[in-house]
Amino acid sequence: MPKCARPRAGAIVAGMTYLAAIIVTAVVLFAGRAAGHYPGIPLEQVADVVIVITPDAKYSLHLPATVDRIVQGKVVRLDKGARPTLIVHTRNTFTAPIEAGVPVKLYLKAFKDGHAHYIIGVSPEP
């Protein structure tokens, strides 16, 4: 009967060290969040423009694409900033999908040249 190969001590120690590092990181992050040390920055503060839009079509924004995609629809309400002329979902990014005819709130940032805005967040509009 062949003998089973025993794992080397170095591999065991490395694996345990990696696992311990993950556990310590998780504990620090959760404890910090519970204590309020790492609050998230609200999208409203980060966004240059916040609008409610009723999309003209279904956009699968949860699937990254290799090209920029234009998002079109009727702007129902402007909550912050100036009305955007062009809304772009940038390549290799993803957010929530949006359905045709269903109003959603879009959080937008302006491109550096100011010609258009890109989506940084999507939330349902009640």
Rounded to two decimals, the pTM is: 0.67
Same domain, 53 and 112: yes
Do 29 and 50 have their domain in common?
Answer: no
Q: How many domains does the chain have?
A: 2
Residue 26 belongs to what domain range?
Answer: 8-40
User: Nearest 5°: CA angle at 63, between 57 and 65?
Assistant: 90
pLDDT confidence of residue 6: 60
For residue 114 the two structure tokens come to: 């100011």
Tokens for 47, please give them.
């966004």
Sequence-ordered strand ranges (E) for the chain: 49-55, 69-71, 73-80, 87-89, 104-110, 117-124
Count CB neighbours of 63 within 10 A.
8
Residue 104: inside a domain: yes
Q: Classify residue 65: in a domain, yes or no.
A: yes
23 with 58, same domain: the answer is no
Q: Are 69 and 92 in contact (CB under 8 A)?
A: no
The answer to whether position 3 is within a domain reads: no
**pLDDT at site 8:** 65
**Same domain? 49 vs 28:** no
Q: What's the average pLDDT block by block, 10 residues per block, for the chain (126 residues)? A: 59 67 67 54 88 92 87 93 91 87 93 88 85
Query: Percent helix, strand, coil in the chain (nearest 5)?
Result: 25, 30, 45
Predicted local distance difference test score (pLDDT) of residue 35 = 46
Q: Given this model, what pLDDT does residue 27 score?
A: 65
Give the model's pLDDT for residue 114: 78
List the structure tokens of 17: 């060290």
